[in-house]
Amino acid sequence: MFTANTPVVTAIGHTDDRLIADQVADVATITPTAAGEYIVNSRQEFLAGEIEPLEQQLDAAYETFQQDHEHEQELAEAVDEATAPEGLPPIYYKVAIVVLLLLLLVITGLWLGVI
């Protein structure tokens, strides 16, 4: 019991005797009921002192991660909007260039007297 890795609670129930087990145990209680109460209280204290703060830290970390992810999505959308061409789609620009070239040919033909 002395070298045990887990906590040892004794509850022999003999208050008159001094037992070696009580001397090397982590906690020596008078009755099995008292041992049970100690273990339950210790567990609740452990949960309140260790597990709940870890749960809160995990929740905070998840919330931070979620906010960062949303921020990255907003940045990606902003980059997409900033790099998107403004105005009309590219096909309209190509059509406008073709029409301008045709007008230039007509004007040149009229000027040269070919048309």
Q: Has residue 60 got a pLDDT over 80?
A: yes
DSSP string, 29-96: -SSHHHHHHHHHHHHHHHIIIIIHHHHHHHHHHHHHHHHHHHHHHHHHHHHHHHHSPPSS-HHHHHHH
Q: Considering the entire predicted model, what is its pTM?
A: 0.40
How far is the C-alpha of 115 from the C-alpha of 106, rounded, in Å? 8
How many residues are given for the chain?
Answer: 115
Structure confidence at residue 68 (pLDDT): 93
Q: Has residue 67 got a pLDDT over 70?
A: yes
pLDDT digits (tens, 9 = 90+) for 98-114: 999 999 999 999 988 88
Degrees to nearest 5, angle at CA 45 with 44 and 50: 105
Place 14 in a pLDDT band, splitting at 50, 70 and 90: low
Q: Which residues face 114 on adjacent strands? A: none
